[in-house]
């Protein structure tokens, strides 16, 4: 490995300081830079094209910068919570507090939907109750670093925090309901017949250098994978900002249209767009008169409930348990949508 | 000959892992027998909770994410 790539690992503390300073400097430069770019372009700022371009040139670097920052920090946090450690923390828990802990750990434990099945089995084998396992499995994909970074960039910290809290609430309550329904019989037979395994922590100590290395790898992996979606999403969002008339969405996704929340959830489930592509579009819809509760419900159902994930989970769950899982989570999201539209 | 198994259901990371191990083995001139384990009961039978997992001569050495090249080289040594 050459010197340029290895110094963050050799001097992790220096790297963290320098990287933070550069990041803050870039963030401070965002507004003047985007204004300068749009000022140079030969379009009228007040025109449709002008306002679309301004949205695009301001939001793209902002989102990518925040995404890089949040993914890096989450990468560092993730290095403290391996799946094995999380399993050990959860084993032996019962009751509502277990659901709360499981949902919270779902946010900070590294998770990829392709690993959902082995993780699920690892939890079941360690004797973690089904409801607590589900709290983890619902929170992990719903409250992810990409969604949080985009919400932070496009909606501000209040909405990002709200999404975090509501996502956790849906995961905690849904898991608790699934546990209360005692669905253990609806696991596939081969899963129920697996031998019990002891939950133990095997990982050795991890140095700061290794954590930095893991966080950098997460940035390369995640930002490298989602940036085209971010740009496509912002481009569509920009077009909506520039060309769709004000209040166009009010009648379709506004607060008065009672059916808009269930419709948003129904449309959201089969969509497997990732958070990166969907959030900029949603932000633009909000600006055109869509209600926040409806928009939140749409986002949550796109991110938390997806057909491919259910196909993966079908390997371990019988159809009835999948239906209950989807139904309980969808109901939770519906309630979130209605409560928001009613309160705000 | 090293017996290496890659555990995973065929996601992009699993394919990347297989490819990286093949490349590393070729570069080092180490002979390996590489098998992909794709059925779920066998994967969880190894006790991994994140895929792709890597098993070298019957021992789980890696779980979750594509392993780095330097790490792969230590398995081949």
* Other CB atoms within 10 A of residue A42 CB: 4
Name the residue with tokens 């509760």.
Answer: A293
Which residues on neighbouring strands pair with residue B37, listed in sequence order?
A: B7
Domain boundaries, chain B: 2-76
Give the DSSP H/E element, type plus range, for residue B62: strand B59-63
Rounded to a whole number of angstroms, the distance between the first and last alpha carbons of chain A is: 54
Pick from B41, B47, B53: which is nearest to A190 by CB?
Answer: B41
Q: Which residues in chain A are closer than 8 Å to B62, comparing Cβ atoms?
A: none
Distance from CA of B48 to the nearest CA of A (A): 7
CB-CB under 8 Å, A115 with B64: yes
Confidence at A12, pLDDT banded by 50, 70, 90: confident
| Cβ–Cβ pairs < 8 A, chains A and B | 56
Question: Rounded to whole angstroms, how far apart are CA atoms B77 and B75?
Answer: 6
Cα angle A172-A175-A176, degrees, rounded to a multiple of 5: 80
Distance from CA of A238 to the nearest CA of B (A): 31
Question: Rounded to whole angstroms, how far apart are CA atoms B56 and B62?
Answer: 9
Q: What are phi and psi for residue B36, nearest 5 degrees?
A: -100, 130
Q: What is the pLDDT of residue A165?
A: 93
Nearest to A62 by CA among A221, A209, A238: A238
Q: What are phi and psi for residue A79, nearest 5 degrees?
A: -70, -15
CB-CB under 8 Å, B51 with A121: no
| A226 vs A269, higher pLDDT | A226
CB-CB under 8 Å, A117 with B9: yes
Q: Residue A293's Cα: distance from chain center in Å?
A: 17
Question: Rounded to whole angstroms, how far apart are CA atoms B1 and A264?
Answer: 56
Q: For A64-93, how does the pLDDT look when each residue is reduced to its tens digit (9 = 90+)?
A: 899 999 999 998 898 888 888 888 888 888
Q: Residue A115's Cα: distance from chain center in Å?
A: 16
Question: Rounded to whole angstroms, how far apart are CA atoms B4 and B67?
Answer: 13
Q: Which two tokens stand for residue A95?
A: 């009751």
The pTM (predicted TM-score) of the whole model is 0.84
- Which DSSP string do the residues of A194-219 spell out, in sequence order? SPP-----------HHHHHHHHHHHI
Confidence at A273, pLDDT banded by 50, 70, 90: low
Chain B contact for A194 (CB, 8 A cutoff): yes
CATH topology assigned to domain B2-76:
Glutaredoxin (3.40.30)
Name the residue with tokens 């969604």.
Answer: A147
Cβ within 8 Å of B, A 174-193: 190
CB-CB under 8 Å, B47 with A84: no
Half-sphere exposure of B41 (CA within 13 A, CB side): 8
Pick from B11, B49, B65: which is nearest to A122 by CB?
Answer: B49
Contact A88, A121 (CB under 8 A): no
Question: Rounded to whole angstroms, how far apart are CA atoms A51 and A209?
Answer: 44
Q: For A222-253, how does the pLDDT look when each residue is reduced to its tens digit (9 = 90+)?
A: 888 888 888 888 888 888 877 777 776 666 67
Chain B contact for A332 (CB, 8 A cutoff): no
Q: What is the pLDDT of residue A2?
A: 47
Judged by DSSP in three states, A317 sits in: strand
Q: Which residues in chain B are closer than 8 Å to A125, comparing Cβ atoms?
A: 44
Q: Which residues in chain A are closer than 8 Å to B40, comparing Cβ atoms?
A: 117-118, 121, 315-316
Half-sphere exposure of A220 (CA within 13 A, CB side): 10
SS (H, E, C) A319-339: HHHHHHHHHHHHHHHHHHHHH
CB-CB under 8 Å, A115 with B51: yes
Q: For A149-197, how does the pLDDT look when each residue is reduced to its tens digit (9 = 90+)?
A: 888 888 888 888 988 999 999 999 999 999 999 888 888 888 887 766 6
Total residue length of chain A: 344
Nearest to A316 by CA among A111, A121, A115, A91: A121
Name the residue with tokens 């767009």.
Answer: A273
* pLDDT of A1 above 60: no
Domain boundaries, chain A: 94-195+274-343
- Which DSSP string do the residues of B1-56 spell out, in sequence order? -EEEEEE-SS-HHHHHHHHHHHHHHHHHT--EEEEEE--HHHHHHTT-SSSSEEEE
Q: What are phi and psi for residue A173, nearest 5 degrees?
A: -70, -45
Q: Which two tokens stand for residue A74?
A: 């989450």
């Amino acid at each position: 490995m050459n010197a340029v790539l290895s110094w963050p690992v050799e001097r992790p503390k220096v790297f963290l300081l320098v990287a933070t300073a550069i990041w803050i400097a870039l963030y401070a430069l965002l507004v003047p830079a985007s204004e300068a770019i749009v000022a140079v372009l030969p379009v009228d700022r007040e025109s449709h094209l002008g306002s679309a371009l301004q949205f695009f040139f301001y939001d793209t670097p902002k989102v990518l910068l925040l995404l890089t920052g949040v993914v890096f920090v989450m990468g560092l946090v993730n290095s403290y919570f391996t799946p094995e450690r999380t399993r050990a923390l959860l084993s032996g828990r019962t009751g509502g507090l277990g659901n709360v802990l499981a949902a919270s750990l779902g946010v900070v434990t590294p998770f990829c939907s392709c690993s959902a099945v082995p993780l699920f089995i690892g939890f079941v084998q360690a004797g973690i109750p089904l409801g607590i396992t589900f709290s983890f499995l619902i929170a992990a994909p719903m409250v992810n670093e990409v969604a949080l970074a985009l919400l932070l960039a496009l909606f501000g910290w209040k909405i990002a925090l709200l999404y975090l809290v509501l996502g956790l609430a849906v995961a905690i309550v849904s898991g608790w309901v699934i546990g209360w329904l005692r669905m253990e019989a609806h696991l596939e037979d081969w899963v129920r017949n697996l031998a019990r395994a002891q939950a133990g922590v095997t990982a050795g100590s991890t140095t700061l250098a290794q954590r930095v290395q893991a966080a950098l790898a997460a940035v390369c992996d995640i930002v490298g994978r989602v940036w085209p979606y971010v740009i496509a999403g912002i481009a569509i969002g920009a077009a909506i900002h520039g060309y769709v008339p004000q209040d166009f969405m009010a009648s379709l996704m506004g607060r008065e249209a009672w059916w808009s929340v269930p419709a948003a959830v129904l449309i959201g489930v089969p969509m497997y767009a990732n958070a990166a592509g969907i959030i900029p579009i949603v932000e633009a819809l909000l600006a055109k008169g869509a209600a926040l509760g409806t928009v939140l419900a749409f986002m949550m159902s796109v991110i938390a409930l997806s057909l491919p994930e259910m196909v993966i989970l079908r390997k371990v769950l019988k159809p009835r348990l999948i239906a209950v899982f989807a139904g309980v989570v969808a109901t939770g999201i519906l309630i979130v949508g209605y409560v928001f539209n009613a309160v705000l | 000959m090293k017996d290496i198994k890659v555990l995973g259901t065929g996601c992009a990371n699993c394919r990347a892992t297989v490819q990286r191990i093949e490349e590393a083995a070729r570069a080092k001139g180490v002979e390996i027998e590489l098998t992909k384990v794709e059925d779920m009961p066998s994967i969880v039978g190894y006790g991994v909770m994140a895929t792709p997992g890597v098993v070298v001569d019957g021992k789980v050495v890696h779980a979750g994410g594509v392993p780095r090249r330097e790490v792969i080289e230590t398995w081949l040594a």
